[in-house]
Chains A and B, each alone.
Chain A
Amino acid sequence: MTLTAAPARAAREARPRRHRNHRRRAALGWIATHALAIALSIMFLAPLMFIGLTAVMTDQQALTSQLWPERWEWGNFADIFARAPLLTWIANTMLYAVLATAFMLISSIPVAYALARLRFPGRRLAFLLVITTMMLPPQVVAVPIYLLWARFHLTGTLWPLILPMLLGDAFSIFLLRQFLVTIPKEYSDAARVDGCGEFRTLIRVILPMARPAIAAVALFQFFYCWNDYYGPLLYAGTDSSNWTLSLGLASFRAVHRVQWNLTMAATLLAMAPVIIVFFLAQKAFIEGVKLTGVK
């Protein structure tokens, strides 16, 4: 970032006049880019701000187009719990997210390890199939899978979304594999020389080194479940006691005939955990997103 210092100094010694022009232009550029960045930040943050401001308006004020709450109605956040079974939805969402994440980790780490570091015939094909299943829209195979779960009488519950995670998740496998191939071979070779078997090498050497990637896939999986709407819409059924927060939130305004202020309070409630966890684990997120881009 401090790259400009050396050439600038060289230029100063050589041609003082040009240097001054240069500095003026650099300063103007600095101001322009930062002003643009600030303007963009305001546009990125404004929706969150307006959602927050509306969430604490009174019912009467929510019917107007005023932007600033005249009286801060913190009671709205308590009120939404009385209007809809939010606690049940949160509990269901947590169950879905926690179990799916745990199951995904147990099943996907060994698969990613095999794809990244073991040599076997068909390895390339297996990796390409993982990418294919990751990319193809879930709607392509939805009908037969739905019928399968219907046969086990599990439609109307969230289990059809949780149980398959025991059999690996393509996106997580892909992401972990992308990270595991970057670990130098020398580490596992050294472990092997010390007499570690394949399994001990995985547990003792590779897993500790892969911690950032594991944290990233766990976070992604958790938030995928937390945010998931399509899955619960397909399987959770019409009984709202089986719904997740996303599903309940989507029908909150219509079913419960509430104003925008309460709707925004509930919206904020659904966003809050994601944003809090992001600030606690920012690095893991950013590193994880980078892994999803191809190099």
Chain B
Amino acid sequence: MATTTFGRRGAAEPARPKGRHRGSLVALLYLSPWLVGFSVFFGYPLIATVYFSFQRYDMFTLEPVGWLNYRYFLQDEAAWTSIRNTLWLVVVMVPLRVLFGLGVAQLVTKLKAGTGFFRTVFYLPSLVPLVAGTLGFVYLLNPGTGPVAAILSAIGLPSPDWFGDPAWAKPGLTLLALWSVGDLMVIFLAALLDVPKQLYEAAALDGAGAWRQFFHITLPVIRPVLMFAAVTGVIQTLQYFTQAMVAARVASGGTDSAGSVFVPGYPDQSTLTFPEWLFHQGFRDFAMGYACVLAVILFVVSMVFTLFLLRQFRGLEEEA
């Protein structure tokens, strides 16, 4: 323990300032690992990213090129495709996940028997490792031998080519995201159970039916939780990487390690997300200066949503 002789004062003086100083030093000591970590793994690289974005950099030579990388971005069609794909996921996948998670949670609150069992079943898939879950879904949905195609054809329905069809690959990833909705469901369930029972009782006495209770009591009360889930969902989707990468790789039969470099996005760039393109530029093509341009853009966009979250937390802090 760091005991400090710092600021030794006469007995007449109030003890508080001394305690405060000491408290700050102890806090500094406790915080020190994080302070170092924050500087080395966040502060420095953030500045360096901005600096590199104005350089041509292939890991060996740095050459200042001004705004060239940024101008290149404007005409990099793959980058814009990846932005459209990421936007698609933000606009479709995030709301569907929130709605579905809320629906499942609401259902669990209505159950009288087997609540624990159902909650476990709905939560379980969200624990499945991303790579394993993605592999599973590529198999389940594959048109040749997959069970989904078998079941669909048994009841006389046509089956799409999912991860082999540019129009169906993102819906396939969305199904995977809905399957692993359990973490959201648990958060929503906790929020729903926190809604004061008296509110419902009072509303029931006033003759409000289930739907009116849901829209006039449940939704307003859990709104902060929903907003938080939606915003964190957007930020997570901005970094959507693993599922798209693995699905494309497995569906195309391509590989990154047997010599040839695997280009993400199969089929036909339909699953190419923004972070995938950044990764590919930076660590497969070693266009590190240009990758930093993409990183700066990703930073600005995700910062907008993060600031929104920070505002919520600042409110929390004041209450505490």
Choose, from B68-76, B87-95, B165-173, B249-257, the stretch at the interface: B249-257
Asked whether, in the complex, the Cβ of B129 is within 8 Å of the Cβ of A290, the reply is no
Asked if B140 is at the interface of the complex by the 8 Å CB criterion, the answer is yes
Most buried by A among B1, B136, B150, B258: B136
With contacts A128-B310, A167-B34, A293-B190 taken as known, whether A63 is within 8 angstroms of B145 at the C-beta atoms is yes
Asked whether, in the complex, the Cβ of B292 is within 8 Å of the Cβ of A267, the reply is no
Q: Which residue of A lies closest to B47 (CB)?
A: A144
Chain B residues with Cβ below 8 Å from A40 are 104, 107, 118, 122
How far is A111 from B45 in the complex, measured between Cα atoms in Å? 22
Choose, from A71-79, A207-215, A271-279, the stretch at the interface: A271-279
With contacts A40-B107, A67-B150, A167-B34 taken as known, whether A229 is within 8 angstroms of B242 at the C-beta atoms is yes
Residues 12-65 of B contacting A (Cβ, < 8 Å): 20, 23-24, 26-31, 33-34, 36-38, 40-42, 44-46, 48-49, 52, 59
Asked if A190 is at the interface of the complex by the 8 Å CB criterion, the answer is no
Per-residue B-contact encoding for A201-227, CB less than 8 Å = 1, 0 else: 000000000000000000000010011
Asked if A191 is at the interface of the complex by the 8 Å CB criterion, the answer is no
Q: Is the interface of B mostly helix, strand, loop or mixed?
A: helix
Asked whether, in the complex, the Cβ of B132 is within 8 Å of the Cβ of A270, the reply is yes
Nearest-CB distance from B281 to chain A (Å)? Answer: 10
Per-residue A-contact encoding for B284-307, CB less than 8 Å = 1, 0 else: 000010011001001100110110
Asked whether, in the complex, the Cβ of B123 is within 8 Å of the Cβ of A286, the reply is yes
Per-residue B-contact encoding for A179-214, CB less than 8 Å = 1, 0 else: 001000000000000000111000000000000000
Number of interface residues of A (CB under 8 A): 105
How far is A61 from B110 in the complex, measured between Cα atoms in Å? 43
Chain B residues with Cβ below 8 Å from A44 are 121-122, 124-125, 179
Specify which of B46, B139, B303 is in contact with A263 (CB 8 Å cutoff). Answer: B139
Nearest-CB distance from B141 to chain A (Å)? Answer: 10
Q: Which residue of B lies closest to A146 (CB)?
A: B283
Asked if B177 is at the interface of the complex by the 8 Å CB criterion, the answer is no
Asked whether, in the complex, the Cβ of B275 is within 8 Å of the Cβ of A137, the reply is yes
Q: Which residue of B lies closest to A119 (CB)?
A: B23
Asked whether, in the complex, the Cβ of A3 is within 8 Å of the Cβ of B122, the reply is no
Per-residue B-contact encoding for A111-122, CB less than 8 Å = 1, 0 else: 101110011110
Asked if B66 is at the interface of the complex by the 8 Å CB criterion, the answer is no
Asked whether, in the complex, the Cβ of B295 is within 8 Å of the Cβ of A132, the reply is no
Asked if B98 is at the interface of the complex by the 8 Å CB criterion, the answer is no
With contacts A251-B249, A293-B191 taken as known, whether A121 is within 8 angstroms of B24 at the C-beta atoms is yes
Chain B residues with Cβ below 8 Å from A64 are 145
With contacts A107-B34, A274-B129 taken as known, whether A47 is within 8 angstroms of B140 at the C-beta atoms is yes
Asked whether, in the complex, the Cβ of A250 is within 8 Å of the Cβ of B127, the reply is no
Residues 251-282 of B contacting A (Cβ, < 8 Å): 253-258, 275, 278-279, 282
Asked whether, in the complex, the Cβ of B136 is within 8 Å of the Cβ of A51, the reply is yes
With contacts A34-B113, A65-B149, A286-B123 taken as known, whether A131 is within 8 angstroms of B309 at the C-beta atoms is yes
How far is A147 from B245 in the complex, measured between Cα atoms in Å? 23
How far is A130 from B40 in the complex, measured between Cα atoms in Å? 14
With contacts A118-B23, A254-B250, A294-B228 taken as known, whether A129 is within 8 angstroms of B132 at the C-beta atoms is no
Nearest-CB distance from B214 to chain A (Å)? Answer: 14
Asked whether, in the complex, the Cβ of A140 is within 8 Å of the Cβ of B49, the reply is yes
Nearest-CB distance from B294 to chain A (Å)? Answer: 8
Asked if B111 is at the interface of the complex by the 8 Å CB criterion, the answer is yes
Asked whether, in the complex, the Cβ of B145 is within 8 Å of the Cβ of A260, the reply is yes
With contacts A181-B320, A229-B242, A294-B225 taken as known, whether A144 is within 8 angstroms of B127 at the C-beta atoms is no
Chain B residues with Cβ below 8 Å from A138 are 239
Chain A residues with Cβ below 8 Å from B288 are 143, 147
With contacts A120-B24, A137-B239, A260-B145 taken as known, whether A37 is within 8 angstroms of B118 at the C-beta atoms is yes
Chain B residues with Cβ below 8 Å from A150 are 59
Residues 28-82 of A contacting B (Cβ, < 8 Å): 29-30, 33-34, 36-37, 40-41, 44-48, 50-51, 54, 62-67
Chain A residues with Cβ below 8 Å from B303 are 132, 136
Nearest-CB distance from A26 to chain B (Å)? Answer: 10
Nearest-CB distance from B133 to chain A (Å)? Answer: 8
Asked whether, in the complex, the Cβ of A135 is within 8 Å of the Cβ of B306, the reply is yes
Asked whether, in the complex, the Cβ of B34 is within 8 Å of the Cβ of A111, the reply is yes
Nearest-CB distance from B198 to chain A (Å)? Answer: 11
With contacts A3-B197, A37-B111 taken as known, whether A54 is within 8 angstroms of B139 at the C-beta atoms is yes
Nearest-CB distance from B131 to chain A (Å)? Answer: 4
Nearest-CB distance from A185 to chain B (Å)? Answer: 11
How far is A101 from B34 in the complex, measured between Cα atoms in Å? 16
- Report the 10 A-B pairs with minimum CB-CB distance, sorted nearest first: A167-B37, A293-B187, A141-B45, A137-B239, A144-B45, A144-B48, A168-B34, A114-B30, A110-B30, A120-B27
**Chain A interface (Cβ within 8 Å of chain B)?**
1, 3, 29-30, 33-34, 36-37, 40-41, 44-48, 50-51, 54, 62-67, 107-108, 110-111, 113-115, 118-121, 123-124, 126-133, 135-148, 150, 164, 166-168, 173, 181, 197-199, 223, 226-227, 229-230, 233-234, 238, 240, 246-247, 249-251, 253-255, 260, 263-264, 267-268, 270-271, 274-275, 278, 282, 285-286, 289-290, 292-295
Report 14 cross-chain contacts, Cβ distance below 8 Å, ordered by A residue. Answer: A46-B147, A50-B136, A107-B34, A113-B30, A118-B26, A135-B306, A139-B278, A140-B49, A143-B49, A147-B59, A198-B23, A238-B257, A251-B257, A271-B132
